[in-house]
Structure 1
Amino acid sequence: MSGMENSTAGKVITCKAAVAWGPGEPLVMEEILVDPPQKMEVRIKVLFTSICHTDLSAWKGENESQRAYPRIFGHEASGIVESVGEGVRDMKEGDHVIPIFNGECGECLYCKREGTNMCRDYGVNPMKKVMVSDGESRFRTKETRQPIFHFLNTSTFTEFTVVESSCVVKVDPTFPLQKMTLLSCGVSTGVGAAWNTADVKAGSSVAVFGLGAVGLAVAAGARARGASKIIGVDINPAKFAKARALGITECVNPDELETAAHEEITRLTGGGVDYSFECAGSLTALREAFLSTQLGWGLTVLLGVHPGPNMLPLHPMELFAGKQITGSVFGGFKGKTQIPRFAEECMHGAVNLDEFITHELPFEKINEAFQLLKEGKSLRCLMHL
């Protein structure tokens, strides 16, 4: 890295990026200009990136209020620090890092408080499209110098990106960066929901609605905590083999049932599960997840992204039966202070990260990777830059 740092630090870098020009349009591999990092920013050479369902829904333009083009999507990645801006003290050129969409400044009211991983200025914000320090983008098209918008504090579908230092986590350089990519979002979000948000207990029962990467990360987290029964719910039975490998003990396909999914889960558990997790972004699934929990203490954790205007499918009186419902962002992890330890636990076998990488492609084939996820054929397709 040292040669690259000396030659590029403080300069504009020309590189390739997969640019979105409109909702649902194929990403275009463009030559772009990436400005140097400004105060409290980090410029990263991205080595690996992958696609999450949040990227997919944003690419489709499902929420019109979040549309902004041209834009560089992507929020799961790993790479090496190319240079740092003024004031950055906890990272230096050559460090191995992952960007995180839900940052931690360490100074605000939320960061200083235990029990929450919100951050006033650098928390997840799908509306944000420029940098905090000056309201400008660090990306421009090479030909016309047109600004290109940022996405989810990260923008990883590019060979170089600029990220606020609050949204960059340094990881042990002996850990494989391929696997660390998964901790940027999916695995951290799912495992953390089981460990931090729900605090799943040994011997408990769990239902996971939606068996994508996040749902299976929940299952892996619940298995690591010693849950005795983990029921996976999905309408795509092709996912069941992988689900069982990651900790699901029983699979339920609602389309093949004569009763509602929650009734089948109640039957299987003799009253309902202790914890349910909604990972599908479906109000129907959320309703079923809530109904599938045990009266008196059942907890439902919401992880799915719901871009539409519809509200929770609950009657207020249903909460009088002792059940609870809560949301979880980034698995409840405070990114900069807790993810390095989580990475260490994964490397020591708490979670098998290899199980989540189902495909690998070169960065230039990013549209193929999107199609794999869209068709439900991949958990994570790792792209090499």
Structure 2
Amino acid sequence: MSTAGKVIKCKAAVAWEPNKPLVIEEIEVAPPEANEVRIKIVATGLCHTELYHLYEGMPKDGFPTVLGHEGAGIVESVGPGVTEFQPGDKVIPLSISQCKECRFCKSPKTNQCELAWKRVCLETMKGMETRFTCKGKKIFQFIGTSTFSEYTVINKIAVAKIDPAAPLDKVCLIGCGICTGYGAAVNTAKVEPGSTCAVFGLGAVGLAAVMGCKAAGAKRIIAVDINPEKADKAKVLGATDYVNPKDHNKPIHEVLAEMTNGGVDFSVECVGRVDVMRSALESCLPAWGVCVIVGWTKKFDVPIRPPDLIAGRTLKGSLFGGFRSKDGVPQMVKAYMDKKLQLDEFITHNMTLDQVNDAIELMKHGKCVRVVMSVSPQ
């Protein structure tokens, strides 16, 4: 019997409050309203953004919520005004929307959309609207997506249609981490053939940045991380060198300067710590080095000295790798299908949604690159 137009009861991992384990609950998912799409989530990755929200000081008014924003699924039904999607389409939810009509979407200078942060409260990361309820209470949708649920409802401007042959348990990673790191190198830094690069932080985003540097033709890619277990994975994805700051008795930017005759051409920071951001900048060649900040934090300021920039360094930020989401995500899926993009190498654990708290523990302790959780059968 068709579920279109009806409330769906399904399983979801609910974060009732910060600093507490998620709880598998039965929730109610309302039908899509105008310009919305209801999606059956098949697979989802766990991103560090979820940990940030749970454990690093997000306000309590961002709870209760269903986390998850790196998923892939199948359209179950569409609301009035939706013609781009049909039931059965394979799709990836987008935490950064692309309405294609606002001044940002029409500008070649940015991948941002003016409606993105009107749909989502940046301070609490909750969607301004939700179609979820549980035990009589409204449950927020994290970044307007919520992929830790068997079903979710999302505005059509935050959904990308993908190749119907794409394996959802692989391409779900394109919804956040892969695009964020890869695009930071290719789109934002604009890494050049024959150049020397440094990538700080070898989580999934940093490893994707390594992959992007290689795809752009960098001659030398120095992977920097304090966890030596990440070195082999970085080299599989294109790193030529690995440096552990703990192995040296001098600042890491001095180590890199000695290795590269004065500094790297491009550096990408994927940690989210202000001291690492400064090190990434100082690791760049003073005359023309480009440093891209990807790691997210709202804590503290980056202590930048004017001389670090005056001679010619450039400091840039990158959100979602500079990709225009509805356009870029299908392109990245195609690149994977054409064997021009690695994804399988990022997946260190396959689990189920019921094991979400175990997945969180793996990430908290640096024991995984990406966990992919199965949510619903295809």
Deviation at residue 130 of structure 1 after TM alignment: 5.8
Aligned match for 1:51, one of 28, 46, 49: 46
Count of residue pairs brought into register by the alignment: 373
Q: What secondary structure is seen at the aligned counterpart in 2 of 1:7?
A: coil
Task: Say whether residues 1:162 and 2:153 are aligned partners.
Answer: yes
The residue that corresponds to 1:82 in the other structure is: 76
TM (norm. structure 1) is 0.94
* Whole-Å separation in 2 of the counterparts to 1:64 and 1:193: 26
Deviations 1:21-44 (A, max 9, x none): 111211000000001111111110
Q: Partner of 2:173 in structure 1?
A: 182
- Distance between the aligned counterparts of 2:152 and 2:208, measured in 1? 27
- 2:33 matched to 1:38? yes
CA distance in structure 2 between the partners assigned to 1:255 and 1:17 by the alignment = 41
Distance in 1 of aligned mates of 2:233 and 2:331: 26
Q: CA shift at 1:65, angstroms? A: 3.8
Alignment of 1:14-25 (within 5 A): 14-25=9-20
Letter in 1 for 2:350: E
Residues 199-210 of structure 1 correspond to what in structure 2 (within 5 A)? 199-210=190-201
Shift of 1:327: 0.5
Of 319, 337, 346, which residue of structure 2 is paired with 1:329? 319
Instruction: Report the secondary structure of 2:24's partner residue.
Output: strand
In the alignment, residue 252 of structure 1 is paired with which amino acid? V
Q: Kindly tell me: are residues 170 and 29 of structure 1, through their superposed partners in 2, closer, same or farther at Cα, counting changes over 3 Å?
A: same
Q: 1:242 maps to what in 2?
A: 233
Q: Quick check: 1:221–1:351 contact (8 Å CA) kept in 2?
A: no
CA distance in 2 between counterparts of 1:177 and 1:137 reads 24
Aligned pair 1:137/2:127, yes or no? no
Partners of 2:18 and 2:158 in 1: CA distance: 26
Deviations 1:240-289 (A, max 9, x none): 11111111111111111111111111111111111001100011110110
1:129 Cα shift?
Answer: 5.8
Q: Which residue of 2 aligns with 1:107?
A: 101
| Candidates 350, 364, 370, aligned match of 1:374 | 364
Cα separation, 1, equivalents of 2:126 and 2:281 = 37
Residue 126 (1) aligns with residue 122 (2): yes
Deviation of 1:66 (Å): 7.0
CA drift at 1:316: 2.7
Counterpart CA distance in 2 for 1:122 and 1:128 is 14
| Cα distance change, pair 199–103 in 1 and its aligned pair in 2 (3 A) | same
TM-superposition CA deviations, 1:83-109 (whole Å, max 9, x none): 111111111111000001011011111
Cα deviation, residue 353, structure 1: 0.7
Distance 1:182 1:64, change over 3 A: closer
The one-letter amino acid of 1:280's match is: V
Q: Aligned match of 2:205 in 211, 214, 230?
A: 214
Q: Which amino acid aligns with 1:257?
A: H
Distance 2:333 2:320 in 1: 14
Contact persistence 1:129–1:149 (CA under 8 A) = no
Question: Which residue number in structure 1 is paired with residue 339 of structure 2?
Answer: 349
Q: How many angstroms apart in 1 are the aligned matches of 2:71 and 2:206?
A: 19
Shift of 1:307: 2.5
Look up the equivalent residue of 2:205 and give its one-letter code. Answer: V
State the distance in 2 between where 1:67 and 1:257 align: 43
Equivalent-residue separation in structure 1 for 2:235 and 2:250 (angstroms): 23
1:3 corresponds in structure 2 to: none
Moved more, 334-343 or 181-190: 334-343
Q: d(CA) in 2 for partners of 1:287 and 1:129?
A: 27
Task: Find 2:4's aligned residue among 6, 9, 31.
Answer: 9
Query: Contact (CA 8 Å) 1:211, 1:239: kept in 2 or not?
Result: yes
Structure 1 residues 55, 64: closer, same or farther in 2, change over 3 A?
closer
Given that 1:206 and 1:230 are in contact with CA atoms closer than 8 Å, whether structure 2 keeps it comes out as yes
Residue in structure 2 matched with residue 318 of structure 1 by the alignment: 308
Equivalent residue, structure 1, for 2:142: 151
Q: TM-score, normalised on structure 2?
A: 0.96
Query: Which structure 2 residue ranges, 5 or more long, are not aligned?
Result: none
Overall identity of the aligned pairs, in %: 47
Residue 8 of structure 1 aligns with an amino acid whose one-letter code is T
Task: Report how far residue 196 of structure 1 moved.
Answer: 0.7
Measure, in 1, the Cα distance between the counterparts of 2:343 and 2:207: 11
Separation in structure 2 between the aligned mates of residue 38 and residue 179 of structure 1, nearest angstrom = 29
SS in 1 for 2:62: coil
Separation (CA, whole Å) in 2 of partners of 1:231 and 1:129: 33
Structure 2 residue identity aligned to 1:235: I
2:63 paired residue number: 69
Root mean square deviation, CA, Å: 1.4
Letter in 2 for 1:219: V
> Amino acid of the residue matched to residue 374 of structure 1?
K
Distance 1:178 1:261, change over 3 A: same
Match of 2:273 among 274, 277, 282: 282
Which residue pairs with 1:27 in the alignment?
Answer: 22
